[in-house]
């Protein structure tokens, strides 16, 4: 393979113990792995909470939890999944692969990178520590609406402080990504040659930097109301209850795209590799990412249609408008697959599952952009189904696609294809069995955030199906865990480029050395490894 640059090696680490070296590392690859471990630990906790909630709702009556305990479970479940699993695990992929994909030695600010990771477990444990206090953990939902949020005890304060810590971590990490991508690209790696995953991380990071400070301000205002005598949200003292909804959703709707953008990038990386074609409309995908980034700040108030306090035509129109660049992504993905030589390896299966599930969630969203539909369905289980088709059906399928795709590069080992297929099909069936019936429950009027329901409402059978589906999801995740553990016990036999992929991370060893690359191939397009492989093949054919 031709090279254009030899890379300097980093200095050998000092004689420290293996455990201490992981605690003090500033290597972006090790920090990425720490993100994975931390994220999946919180995912396990949040997943157990979800199973307990579904067990409680499987039939009418109190099965396990009193209503207040149930409220704590669904509050912390949503908080962990949104703030401590989905975004951090995708940040882990960003940490590991953005420097590799742009040919950099490390992130721009390695120590800040380490700090941004270590803030996460601190913030997560602060949130969970609410269960140890009198009155329990926060119980106002992950959206934390006032005045309910103003009435909680110490657990609510710990939730606020924990999220402030997590938000600080997110901002530091996002700034690091932006500077790394803009300043540390290898020679030849122009912006128009960036891998599409890197573009998704850049767009995601811009959203984090712009949106997360709004949440930080809102949390500080809420804490001031609760402990310092302020009255930002207390209507009895001149505050405005709806102000919380405005500032929270001004952050939280961009947060939906913060969570999904990197998954879009993953799918846009995987589809070309397993269809044997370049990504259809590379520049169109980049433009769609940037349009969604901008438009995401114009749609927050569709969460507030039922309040009567927002301009319905404007926010309905902007919500419909943001579906246009999202539709461009679907169009480009489908045309990437068209007439391709498809290989149905586990990464491809999860990428295809992502497209199908996110399509359902997207259609749900277009429907509820209509105020008339929203009035009928707001705060029902329809909304629960919609958000899970977007964030679980979309993001988690994308995360699993990334796991199967990049696991050989991270560990030097190939996950079992057979177990990966079992994982995919059981997760697909379990997911749809869990969340599709919730659409019907919403149409039948079942409110979300309830711990019990009357037996004569006609909701029991569908709730039983949802609970069965949640258990299947749990089985699928156990299969994935078994696959990971058994694979890690095997010797490193994965080739450097097992998928015949396109981007620079596949030009180095598996796993990569501390200095990432001994040499880089020529970078003349956004598929440098593909170009080098085919240049070498042509040279062999003419020799």
Q: How many CB atoms are located within 10 Å of the residue 302 CB?
A: 24
Distance CA 538, CA 533 (A): 9
Is the Cα torsion angle 387, 393, 396, 402 positive or negative in sign? negative
Distance CA 270, CA 52 (A): 34
Segment 367-399, tens digit of pLDDT: 888 999 999 999 999 999 999 999 999 899 999
| Of 3-7, 415-419, 498-502, the least confident | 3-7
| Of 41-50, 108-117, 151-160, the least confident | 151-160
Domain holding 123, by residue range, is 25-268+279-542
Q: What torsion, rounded to 10 degrees, do the Cα atoms 390, 394, 400, 401 define?
A: -170
87 inside domain:
yes
pLDDT band at 1; cut points 50, 70, 90: very low
% of residues, the chain, pLDDT over 90? 87
Q: What is the mean pLDDT of residues 255-281?
A: 97
pLDDT of residue 89 exceeding 90, the answer is: yes
224 inside domain:
yes
Q: What torsion, rounded to 10 degrees, do the Cα atoms 414, 416, 421, 422 define?
A: -150
Q: What is the mean pLDDT of residues 341-352?
A: 98
Residue 456, helix vs strand vs coil: coil
pLDDT band at 2; cut points 50, 70, 90: very low
Q: What is the mean pLDDT of residues 78-93?
A: 97
Segment 304-313, tens digit of pLDDT: 998 888 889 9
Among residues 268, 178, 193, the alpha carbon closest in space to that of 504 is found at 193
Q: What is the mean pLDDT of residues 322-335?
A: 96
> Which CATH number does the domain housing residue 413 bear?
1.20.210.10
158 inside domain:
yes
Task: Give the pLDDT score at 9.
Answer: 52
Segment 93-128, tens digit of pLDDT: 999 999 999 999 999 999 999 999 999 999 999 999
399 inside domain:
yes
Is the Cα torsion angle 137, 138, 141, 147 positive or negative in sign? positive
Look at the block and give the residue holding tokens 């120590």: 111
- Report how many domains make up the chain: 1
466 inside domain:
yes
Task: Give the pLDDT score at 12.
Answer: 46
What is this structure's pTM?
0.94
49 inside domain:
yes
Structure tokens that stand for 7 in this block? 């890379």
296 inside domain:
yes
The H-or-E segment that residue 344 falls in is none
pLDDT of residue 15 exceeding 70, the answer is: no
20 inside domain:
no
Q: What is the mean pLDDT of residues 468-477?
A: 98
């Amino acid at each position: 393979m031709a090279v254009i640059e030899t890379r300097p090696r980093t200095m050998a680490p000092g004689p420290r113990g293996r455990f201490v070296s992981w605690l003090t590392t500033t290597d972006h690859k090790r920090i990425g792995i720490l993100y994975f471990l931390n994220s999946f630990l919180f995912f396990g906790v949040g997943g157990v909470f979800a199973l307990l909630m579904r067990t409680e709702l499987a039939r009418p009556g109190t099965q396990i939890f009193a209503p207040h305990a149930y409220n704590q479970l669904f509050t912390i479940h949503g908080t962990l999944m949104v703030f401590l699993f989905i975004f951090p695990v995708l940040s882990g992929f960003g940490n590991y692969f953005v420097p590799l994909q742009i040919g950099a030695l490390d992130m721009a600010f390695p120590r800040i990178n380490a700090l941004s990771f270590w803030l996460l477990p601190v913030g997560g444990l602060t949130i969970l520590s609410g269960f140890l206090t009198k009155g329990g953990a926060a119980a106002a939902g992950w959206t934390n609406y006032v005045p309910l949020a103003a009435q909680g005890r110490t657990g609510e304060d710990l939730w606020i402080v924990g999220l402030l810590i997590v938000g600080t971590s997110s901002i530091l990490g996002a700034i690091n990504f932006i500077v790394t991508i803009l300043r540390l690209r290898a020679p030849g790696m122009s912006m128009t040659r960036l891998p599409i995953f890197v573009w998704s991380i850049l767009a995601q990071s811009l959203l984090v930097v712009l949106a997360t400070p709004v949440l930080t301000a809102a949390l500080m205002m809420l804490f001031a109301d609760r402990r310092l005598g302020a009255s930002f949200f207390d209507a009895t003292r001149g505050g405005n209850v709806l102000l919380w909804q405005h500032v929270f959703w001004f952050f939280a709707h961009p947060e939906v795209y913060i969570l999904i953008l990197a998954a879009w990038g993953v799918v846009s990386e995987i589809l070309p590799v397993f269809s044997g074609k370049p990504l259809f409309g590379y520049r169109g995908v980049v433009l769609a990412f940037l349009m969604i980034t901008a438009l995401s700040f114009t749609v927050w108030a569709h969460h507030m249609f039922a309040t009567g306090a927002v301009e319905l035509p404007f926010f309905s129109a902007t919500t419909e408008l943001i579906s246009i660049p999202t539709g461009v992504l679907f169009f480009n993905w489908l045309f990437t697959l068209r007439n391709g030589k498809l290989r149905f390896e586990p990464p491809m299966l999860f990428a295809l599952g992502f497209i199908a599930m996110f399509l359902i969630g997207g259609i749900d969203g277009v429907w509820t952009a209509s105020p008339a539909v929203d009035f009928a369905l707001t705060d029902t289980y329809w909304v629960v189904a919609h958000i899970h088709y977007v964030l679980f059906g979309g993001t988690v399928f994308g995360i699993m696609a990334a796991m199967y795709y990049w696991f050989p590069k991270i560990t030097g080992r190939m996950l079992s294809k057979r177990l990966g297929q079992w994982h995919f099909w059981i997760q697909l069936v379990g997911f749809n069995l869990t969340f599709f019936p919730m659409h019907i429950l919403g149409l039948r009027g079942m409110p979300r955030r309830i711990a019990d329901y009357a037996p004569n409402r006609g909701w029991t059978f569908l709730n039983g199906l949802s609970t069965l589906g949640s258990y299947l999801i749990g089985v699928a995740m156990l299969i994935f865990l078994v696959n990971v553990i058994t694979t890690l016990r095997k010797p490193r036999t994965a080739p450097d480029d097992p998928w015949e992929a396109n981007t620079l991370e596949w030009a180095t060893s598996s796993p990569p050395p501390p200095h990432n690359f001994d040499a880089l191939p020529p970078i003349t397009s956004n598929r440098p490894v593909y170009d080098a492989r085919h240049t070498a093949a042509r040279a062999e054919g003419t020799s």
